[in-house]
Amino acid sequence: MQDKIKQLKEEALKAIGETQTVAALEEARVKYSGKKSELQEFLKSLGQAAPEDRPKLGAMVNEAKSAIELALGGRKAVLQNSEQTKKIAAEKVDITMPGKGIRRGHLHPLTQVMEEAKGIFIRMGFEIAEGPEVETDYYNFDGLNIPPHHPSRDMWSTLFIKDDVLLRTHTSPVQIRVMEKRKPPLAIIAPGRVYRRDSDATHSPIFHQLEGFLVNKNVTFGDLKGTLTEFLRQIFGKEKNVRFRPSFFPFTEPSAEVDVECVLCKGKGCRLCKETGWLEILGSGMIDPNVFKAVGFDPEKYSGFAFGMGIDRIAMLKYGIDNIRLLYENDVRFLEQF
Ligand code: DAH
């Protein structure tokens, strides 16, 4: 019996010492010191031993039990400690590792060109006005001296919403809206989105215009030429030649289209300028007396000039972009280049 107790104790201590995880240790505890352990069974069967041996055997069992419990406690501390160490090592953050860089964005090329164009006029003393993109027939056409059924309406492929409601085909209606509310002197620019039923490499159904107009006493065509020449040189380069060509718009008389020397061939003639050496940039003219009458200004007292340009077109020419869709696809590989 004594040998048996000794052997059980040794076996338990050895097994406890060899456990590698807290879970394995728990198994060993159940096996060697739990209620159903061999040692416990042994204690129960002590009654069958000779009376004079019982105290000694009892003491031995108790001693074995406490030795096992002590070993369990000690091993538990060791294992918990090493599991903790492993966990900490696994979760360790290396603060010397380089961080992930934050990439900085920038404005869309169209926004950049729009801001640049606005800035040039603002420095000349123009102020900004805006109007609705969903516009009435009156402001988009009639007020601008474009009567219903008049052939001049064919200049715009209009997207109608209802008979007399449409998506504005140009920013010119803002002229009427501002002049209805305010009195000269006025120097206004109106940037914004416009819509037409048009779609190919150089036309998008949505695009951007910058409108401008100036009304005062004694405004001349010379003022128009000076203002627009200065604008075009600031935006395309001060060495660029500019020319004014007679043209027609219902809301101006006389009207002129303004060209800038080709940005690619510098006037020699190439594919971009259709061998002319010139690029058409904007429409302009002296505000038609009928427009002044529509807003209640006296055409005998006031005169003014107006102009309108496509911002998408200017961006494409400035940056050599050959397809307008690139401006609307928002492919980061394209946008990154600006
Ligand atoms: N609104 C014209 C267009 O979209 C552009 C334009 C031409 C505006 C002459 C003007 C102007 O103010 O005077 O085609």
pLDDT, tens digit (0-9, with 9 covering 90-100), for 232-279: 999 999 999 999 999 999 999 999 999 999 988 998 999 989 999 999
Q: Are 218 and 191 in contact (CB under 8 A)?
A: no
pLDDT more than 70, % of the chain? 100
Bridging pattern class, strands 127-128 and 186-195: parallel
What sign results for the dihedral spanned by CA atoms 16, 22, 27, 31? positive
Which CATH fold would you assign to the domain 109-335?
BirA Bifunctional Protein; domain 2 (3.30.930)
Distance from residue 198's CA to the centre of ligand 1 (Å): 17
Nearest alpha-carbon partner for 215 in 166, 176, 161, 248: 176
The three-class DSSP label of residue 83 is: helix
What is the value of pTM for the model shown?
Answer: 0.73
- Give Cα separations from 331 to 56, 107, 109 (angstroms): 89, 14, 12
Amino acid at 90: A
Distance from residue 312's CA to the centre of ligand 1 (Å): 15
Pocket perturbation via mutation, ligand 1, pick of 303, 307, 311 by most ligand atoms within 8 A of CB: 307
Which is higher by pLDDT, 192 or 99?
Answer: 192
Residues having CB within 6 Å of any atom of ligand 1: 170, 172, 211, 249, 252, 283-285, 306-308
Amino acid at 75: R
CA 103 from chain center: how many Å?
12
Residue whose Cα lies nearest atom 3 of ligand 1: it is: 170
Residue whose Cα lies nearest atom 5 of ligand 1: it is: 308
Residue whose Cα lies nearest atom 8 of ligand 1: it is: 308
Domain ranges of the chain: 2-90, 109-335
Q: Are 262 and 270 in contact (CB under 8 A)?
A: yes
Mean pLDDT of 221-236: 97
Pocket perturbation via mutation, ligand 1, pick of 170, 255, 281, 312 by most ligand atoms within 8 A of CB: 170
pLDDT, tens digit (0-9, with 9 covering 90-100), for 88-147: 988 998 889 898 889 888 999 999 999 999 999 999 999 999 999 999 999 999 999 999
